[in-house]
Amino acid sequence: MRIDRLNVLIKNSALNKTQIAEQSAISRTTLDNILAGSDAKVSTIENLCRVLGVSASYLFEGESISIGQISGNGAGVNSVNNDPDIINRFLSIIEEKDRQISELISKLK
């Protein structure tokens, strides 16, 4: 995950880290751990992105996604590899981002 982008989003947000964590339904400690590079659940990434007003794929653009970086239940890589629902959920996030970009491009024309 592009922690640098997450840091910029947080820095430019009208909310402080505690407020972002609360509105994302995570603890401030969890947010700090993510910013330090810890793995995050897909639902946590989705919630953070919702609060910060970006798609989850924005945090992964420009780098290869390591399956170990996302986890559906906190159990780590094996839980993702064995859970197609989590992978499909993540792929749907990316598809939504692509749809939004296409929509914006059509509005600009």
For the chain, how many structural domains are there in total?
Answer: 1
Cβ neighbors of 85 (< 8 A, separation 6 or more) are 72
pLDDT of residue 34: 95
Strand spans (E) along the chain = 40-41, 70-71
Which CATH number covers residue 9? 1.10.260.40
Which domain does 36 fall in, by range?
3-108
pLDDT of residue 75: 38
pLDDT of residue 62: 61
User: What's the per-residue H, E or C state across 73-84?
Assistant: CCCCHHHHHCCH
pLDDT of residue 86: 67
Give the pLDDT means over successive 10-residue stretches in the chain (109 positions). 90 93 96 93 91 86 50 41 64 79 80
pTM higher than 0.85: no
pLDDT of residue 29: 96
- For residue 38, which amino acid is it? S
Are the CB atoms for 32 and 16 separated by under 8 Å? no
